[in-house]
Amino acid sequence: MRPSFFLLLLLTVIASCKLSENIQDGQTAYNLKKYSLAAELLQKDFNKQDPSTDHAAIAFKIAQSYKFTNNIPAAEKWFETAIEWEYGSEAILELARMLKIQEKYTEAIQQFNNYLKEEPYRRPEINVEINACENALSWMKAQQDEYEKDMIVIPVTALNSGAADFQPAFRGEGQIVFTSSRSSAMGDAKDSWTGGQYFDLFTANTSYPGKFSTIEPLDLAVNTPYNDGSAAFNADASEMFFTRCGTDNRKVDDYCGIFYSYRQPDDSWSEPVELPFFEDSLNLGSPCLSPDGQLLFFVATEENGYGGSDIYFSQRLFDGWSEPENAGSNINTAGNEAFPSFGPDGTFYFSSDGLPGMGGLDIFSAKWSNKQFSRVNNMEYPINSGADDFGILIDDRPLRSGEDTLAIGYFSSSRKGGAGNDDIYMFIKTPKKPRPPVFILAGNIQQKTYEDPEDVTSPPVDTIVLPGSVAVIGIEGELQLLGKYPLKEDTSTFRLQVDKGPAFKITASAEGFFTRSVNVESAEWTADAGDTLVVFTSIVLDRIPDDEGVQIKLSNIYYDYNDTTLRPESFPELDQLVALLNENPGLIIQINSHTDARGQLKYNQRLSQGRANSVVVYLIEKGINPERLVAKGFGEEVPDEFKVAVTTPGGVTIPKGTKLTEQFINTFKSNKEDFEFLHQFNRRTTFNVLSDDFRLDSETPENIEVDEAPDDAGFRDETPKID
């Protein structure tokens, strides 16, 4: 339990809590809940060399004492010591909880799992703890993302002191009231649980969110030398409800109760009176009025509740308040629920360590309607932390003119980095920064299937994915490699998140196939903020013929009539061949030229050889190594063969497999258009692959002759060079 929590639920009531008797042993101090003293005295007992000393039990109680006084690092250390002395599984569970409170979530998960090895029957509830740790890690990670971060949390240095400061509440328009154990609090005695000052209520003026000044104690009619705090006011600040624990009467038990006071004409507060909500004596605290002032919510440790402290409510009547009702299991748990409050929009807030949270008390929101709660949600990080987070107050005033905020408020926390034990923090909820669109370059590699599966020059009929292929992605014109993706499964694809702007080069390759590259321009891609644009590219590879005699036709290659000169219309097709050779540096190809059957054999042979040579020269001029190129003219000796049925301009259908011999074409002499149409098929340029493993090797000669200049080589010009 934490110091602020003690104010609300002193689970065991002892008048001796404020006595100054001289306690000499740690066990007595521990039993009397004087935990600050108990931790000190029990360590002396632990260090005794007496063999009968139960070191495990003492270490566990020392750890518990530090836990109750909010010294969590020391509690962690002593729970570890209790484990070393084989205290048992309960020490493992407490260690896990101490790690969780300190936001050591990965280590906490490990200890929770260690506990399950000892107590497997508790797996359902421990899994809730493990899931809470995983959620906490996720929430914290989200707030580290510049596009998910939507909350700013800062300590309110104007209100915080080196003591405990918590649970602010508005008192009218320009004043805030909060609880503090700072040195200016009334009374000289120390709280025996915490070793610190007792709590009082303090006020501060506020002109706009985050701006506070003139901190003063509240009216002397309210503050006493013992614990006073946790105040709530009605809408016009004419009524006040607050918690008080402790009296000067040593003959009565010091239960915490809810007290009521009203503002008198001179602006002072009336003498507070206790509201008798239960017949039996028990601890009550943390009052909260509904927005209409007709319901009073508060916390009680009633034995018939759900466990720990529960939230109750009572209806305002003409002559007092109705019998309290438990607020139900939607918010109350076997743990502790406390610090209820309402926001300006009617949202109900409370803290709990029984609902899945980040460590200690977490702040939750809920909807209140028809005397029941629903839509209970954790407020998540950074409002919640591994420490105790509680006492939230929503401020609906604008932060500053023109500033974009969704919500502003305050809450209390015992987290690290504060000025004291508990501190007041301000939170500002802002819109999330628009996440830029995400661009995904994706695709797959496919192969053609052919009408004749054994003939790659037969008509393609479909494409299928190509297992065993590899996609390499880079930026066009640069050496930078962005990704390499082996595609092993039939349905596999490559995916890469990229930045918009450059042209991307995707190179696809596979054993036995021509490597092929495509460029994907990204400069014109558009997508809305937060959207993901997937640009899918499918690259189809051609199989390299198994037989080096198979000729692949190059379309649209043109020469001047009866000439070997390439016409410019041929260049685009040849440039594609240049690209193929550059992407497949191991290829050695033969360029083949064919003529029709008209003309003399020798002339056609010379003409076709010259045309094949022209193609080779063009490729060499484009940077292709001559050693990779062979030119061969076939003249008219290899007529073309139709791979598919062809219909002539005259309407004659010529079946697949027909060879265009001179004898066959001459049967169309009576139809000049069909006759010329068929001769054109034989006037073609093809290539075939002679090898796909070309390597340019450079051998170092065994002996290198040095041709030295003679001594009398002549006059040497010693004049300095001028750049």
Q: Which residues pair with 179 in a beta bridge?
A: 166, 201
| Residue for token pair 């628009």 | 434
Does residue 699 carry a pLDDT above 60? no
- Pair of tokens at residue 700: 């170092």
Give the pLDDT confidence score for residue 74 in this predicted structure.
Answer: 96
Distance between start and end Cα atoms, the chain:
84
Q: Which residues pair with 509 in a beta bridge?
A: 470
SS3 content of the chain, % helix, strand, coil (to 5): 25, 30, 45
380: left (phi over 0), alpha (psi -120 to 50) or beta: left
Residues 478, 482, 486, 492, CA torsion sign: negative
Which residues make Cβ contacts (< 8 Å) with residue 238, sequence separation at least 6?
262, 263
Asked whether 230 and 285 are in contact (CB, 8 A), the reply is yes
Q: What is the CA radius of gyration of the chain?
A: 44
Phi, psi torsion values for 112, nearest 5 degrees? -60, -40
Asked whether 555 and 524 are in contact (CB, 8 A), the reply is no
Instruction: Say which amino acid occupies 122.
Output: R
Asked whether 688 and 548 are in contact (CB, 8 A), the reply is yes
Residue 210 has what DSSP assignment?
Answer: T
- Pair of tokens at residue 89: 């599984």
Give the pLDDT confidence score for residue 251 in this predicted structure.
Answer: 53
Does residue 591 carry a pLDDT above 90? yes
- Exposed / middle / buried, residue 569 (Cβ in 10 Å: 0-12, 13-18, 19+): exposed
Which residues make Cβ contacts (< 8 Å) with residue 651, sequence separation at least 6?
none
Does residue 698 carry a pLDDT above 50? no
**Range name among 53-62, 273-282, 430-439 with the lowest pLDDT average:** 273-282
| Residue for token pair 């799992």 | 113
- Name the strand (E) or helix (H) holding 129: helix 123-144
Does residue 62 carry a pLDDT above 50? yes
Give the pLDDT confidence score for residue 195 in this predicted structure.
Answer: 56
pLDDT band at 659, cuts 50/70/90? very high
**Cα–Cα distance, 203 to 601 (Å, whole number):** 114
Instruction: Say which amino acid occupies 340.
Output: P
Give the pLDDT confidence score for residue 9 in this predicted structure.
Answer: 36
Q: Please give the mean pLDDT across all residues of the chain.
A: 87
* 210, HSE (Cβ side, Cα atoms, 13 Å): 12
Residues 655, 658, 662, 664, CA torsion sign: negative
Does residue 7 carry a pLDDT above 60? no
**Cα–Cα distance, 369 to 183 (Å, whole number):** 42
Contacts 24+ apart (CB under 8 A), 475-484: 475/502, 475/503, 475/504, 475/505, 476/502, 476/503, 476/504, 476/505, 476/519, 477/503, 477/505
Phi, psi torsion values for 68, nearest 5 degrees? -70, -25
Mean pLDDT of 649-660: 92
Give the pLDDT confidence score for residue 694 in this predicted structure.
Answer: 65
Q: What angle do CA 371, 375, 380 make, to 5 degrees?
A: 130
**Cα–Cα distance, 143 to 153 (Å, whole number):** 11
Angle between helices 72-84 and 89-101 (to 10 degrees): 160
Asked whether 351 and 329 are in contact (CB, 8 A), the reply is no
Residue 565 has what DSSP assignment?
Answer: P
DSSP line for 640-671: -B-SS-EE-TTS-EE-TT-B--HHHHGGGTTS
State how far the alpha carbon of 24 is from the alpha carbons of 28, 43, 53, 276, in Å.
8, 13, 17, 38
Mean pLDDT of 154-168: 94
Q: For the chain, which domains are there?
A: 152-429 (2.120.10.30), 438-541 (2.60.40.10), 552-691 (3.30.1330.60)
| Residue for token pair 């034995």 | 303
- Pair of tokens at residue 393: 């107050």
**Cα–Cα distance, 120 to 640 (Å, whole number):** 80
pLDDT tens for each residue of 400-439: 655 678 899 999 999 988 888 899 999 999 999 998 999 9
Mean pLDDT of 213-231: 90
pLDDT tens for each residue of 507-552: 999 999 999 999 999 999 999 998 999 999 999 999 998 888 888 8
Give the pLDDT confidence score for residue 21 in this predicted structure.
Answer: 53
Peptide bond before residue 382 is cis, with ω within 30 degrees of 0? yes
Other beta carbons less than 10 A from residue 127's beta carbon: 12
Higher pLDDT, 716 or 555: 555
**Cα–Cα distance, 53 to 288 (Å, whole number):** 48
Does residue 281 carry a pLDDT above 90? no
**Cα–Cα distance, 638 to 99 (Å, whole number):** 85
Provide the pairing of β-strand 481-487 with 469-475.
antiparallel
Of 9, 33, 17, 18, which Cα lies nearest the Cα of 283?
Answer: 9
Asked whether 602 and 633 are in contact (CB, 8 A), the reply is no
Q: Which residues pair with 165 in a beta bridge?
A: 180
Phi, psi torsion values for 441, nearest 5 degrees? -95, 115
Which residues make Cβ contacts (< 8 Å) with residue 603, sequence separation at least 6?
none
Does residue 716 carry a pLDDT above 80? no
Give the pLDDT confidence score for residue 10 in this predicted structure.
Answer: 38
- Pair of tokens at residue 303: 């034995």
- Pair of tokens at residue 4: 């602020």
Asked whether 296 and 313 are in contact (CB, 8 A), the reply is yes
Of 182, 233, 185, 178, which Cα lies nearest the Cα of 426?
Answer: 178
The alpha carbon of 222 is separated from its chain's Cα centroid by a whole number of angstroms, namely 49
- Name the strand (E) or helix (H) holding 290: none
Asked whether 51 and 177 are in contact (CB, 8 A), the reply is no
Max mean pLDDT range (86-100, 234-248, 272-286): 86-100
Phi, psi torsion values for 273, nearest 5 degrees? -125, 145
DSSP line for 175-192: EEEEEE--TTSS-S-B-T
Phi, psi torsion values for 282, nearest 5 degrees? -160, 170
**Cα–Cα distance, 109 to 124 (Å, whole number):** 14
DSSP line for 382-418: TTS-SS-EEEEEEE-S-SSTT---SEEEEEEE--TTS
